[in-house]
Amino acid sequence: MLDAVPPPVATRRRELRRAIAGLAVPMTVAQGLSVVAPIVVVALMGRMGDEALYVRSLFMPLASLFTAVQMAFDISNQTLTAVKVGRGERSEVSGTALSMARLWAGVGLVLAAVLIVVTPLLSDLLHVRSDSRADFAAFVGWVSLANVALAWPVLCASCLRAAGRARSAAAVTLTTIAVEVGGVASFGVGVGVGVLSVPACTVAGAVIAGSLGTVLVRHHGLTGGHRPWAWRPAALREVLRTGVPVSVFYVVMFGMNLALVWILTPYGAVVISGFSIVGTVQTMVFMPGTVLGSAAAIVMNRRYGQDPRTRRAPVFRVALETAVALFAVLTLALWLGRHVIGHVTSGNPRIAAETAHILGIIGPTYLLLGLVLASIAVLEQTGGGFVAVGLIAFYVCGTVVTGAVATAATHDPDGLYYAIAGMNVTGLTVVAIAVAYVRRLDRRAVEPRALKPEGEVG
């Protein structure tokens, strides 16, 4: 029959491209503002006085721990939900999310308790001034507890993304950001509440955005399953299989950034400032790579849930093609505009020149690194999380070791910059391994053992 004839390859690719873009665009907007929001909060805290900004600066290294926990549960829930939606089990989504929330609450409260207990040691390690220790301890304790509340809106948003409702998910995320930033500006700065307005506004944002998320989850038919409050064992399995590697990725990358700054320490504040600015620019530029990989993984997991024999390689191929086109433009624009970026981000001519110099060396390799980030996201969310961790560990160790050796040999920070660029080029190996992994999944899909219980993928 006519309707049994498969569509042409070009048509299928256009459909896949639209499906990926429909998820990636709202996700990029939401995540981009999520990156900008902490910067705005820091700027607002600067208006509260030097003491507030000092306390916030001391806390920044700890923030990566909360990011790791948040992303672990966010991506785990998103992966599991995508498979359930593909299987037609939309009403079971809320049950899985509730189990994820219980796990997150347990982990978050334990982390908060540990940080509260070790705050005196952290104060010694960070050389906190004696007159700021009480403020620092209070800020660490309340922010640690406030971050647990974020489980509500974050898990609602991940459910919506996985169900193909990326705009609704973005609305939840943006509501969280708007309430937190607006609250800190109004109460922390305007009323004069001070530094503790940050955790209070975090909770307020979580409650308001979580309420909105709950309404949207119900509106899109993702509730009503059998015994939604019952424990779902698949939640713990997915956190261990997907969430743990994701969290390790963020912790390892944080450690790499600290190591690279340590390597550059002998070369003075100008070099370190320029390198830090480049790191901030990279965060904004690389986000589309991670988002494209995540959007592709959602499409792949939904297709897998619908039919485990469906090939996932075509989706990955379209995502890589899209990443090449996007990052070719971004990389060229970044390289050509490197001097403008330097002057916009710093009023110090020497720092601006150093920023442009670093971008001139590393910038051309951003095209390859964008593909690497997309590939890592696909690996993490299709069952290859520990493969991704191994690849990231190789990249991090290679970058730190070769960078340290090259810098020591040349007595010049350029040694580190060229080492980073060289490791970015080797990232093509990561892409090749990810392609081989996805093809292996497709080969296994025809075997009976490819069918996993309770929503597992890969």
- Environment class of 25 (CB within 10 Å of its CB; exposed 0-12, middle 13-18, buried 19+): middle
> pLDDT band for position 182 (50/70/90)?
very high
> pLDDT band for position 454 (50/70/90)?
very low
Angle (deg, nearest 10), helices 414-426 and 428-444:
20
Average model confidence (pLDDT) for the chain? Answer: 87
| Residue whose structure tokens are 């499409």 | 299
Choose among 223, 5, 193: nearest CA to 96.
223
The backbone torsions φ and ψ at residue 223, rounded to the nearest 5 degrees and listed phi first, read -130, 175
Q: What digits encode the pLDDT tens for the residues 363-397?
A: 999 999 999 999 999 999 999 999 999 999 899 89
Percent of the chain scored above 70 by pLDDT?
94
Contacts of 447 (CB under 8 A, 6+ apart): none
> pLDDT band for position 70 (50/70/90)?
very high
- How much is the pTM? 0.86
pLDDT at 41 over 90: no
In the chain, the amino acid numbered 153 is P
pLDDT at 457 over 60: no
Res 456: pLDDT: 53
Res 325: pLDDT: 93
- The Cβ of residue 347 has, within 10 Å, a number of other Cβ atoms equal to 8
Q: What digits encode the pLDDT tens for the residues 238-254?
A: 999 999 999 988 888 87
Whole-number Å distance between alpha carbons of 269 and 282: 20
pLDDT at 217 over 90: yes
Mean pLDDT, residues 105-112: 95
Mean pLDDT, residues 200-224: 94
Q: What digits encode the pLDDT tens for the residues 261-275?
A: 888 888 888 888 888
Res 458: pLDDT: 53
The backbone torsions φ and ψ at residue 254, rounded to the nearest 5 degrees and listed phi first, read -65, -45
- The Cβ of residue 267 has, within 10 Å, a number of other Cβ atoms equal to 17
